[in-house]
Amino acid sequence: MQMRAHNFGILSSVAIALLCLGHPGHAESGSRGAEIKKVAYMYSVTEYCGLNTFEVYDGYRREMRHLTREGRLPESTVRWLRIDGIVAADLEFENRGLGGIRNWCPTEGLDAVRHFLAFRDAQLLAERDQLPSP
């Protein structure tokens, strides 16, 4: 029980630090930050549900690269946003309990898989379209 209280304290400190990282006037970066957190959360759900195939992971990595390039956020901020998304998924898993993931995986888990596969497919198609024709 004491370990959980300690972990909660650490998680609270991380959350406060993330809130302090926000820069007023950088709305675009802020929205990219929210997207980075969401993508990290979604991938963590696929991991909890055992749905993280190579293709899903590739889609996740491609989307993270896209968001970090477009958002022009410092690497340290991106790292904290990813951690925040992972922690959010961890807390959701603990909140649901072992029986609760029976519904979590077929809903949020499969939605995340479809999302990453669609992103990957769109990027692969765009890459093929950029190749010179023989």
Domain ranges of the chain: 2-130
- The predicted-structure confidence for 4-25, as pLDDT tens digits, reads as follows 444 444 444 444 344 444 433 3
Is 27 a residue whose pLDDT tops 70? no
**Structure tokens, 89:** 């998924």
Higher pLDDT, 32 or 43: 43
pLDDT band at 63 (very low <50, low <70, confident <90, very high): very high
For 67-87, give one letter per residue: b (16+ CB within 10 A) or e.
bbeebebeeebbebbbbbbbb
pTM above 0.75, yes or no: no
Per residue in 43-52, pLDDT (tens digit) is: 999 999 999 9
C-alpha to C-alpha distance for 116 and 127, rounded to whole angstroms: 16
Contact 67, 111 (CB under 8 A): no
Query: In this predicted model, what pLDDT tens digit does every residue of 106-122 receive, in sequence order?
Result: 999 999 999 999 999 99
Output the pLDDT for position 72.
81
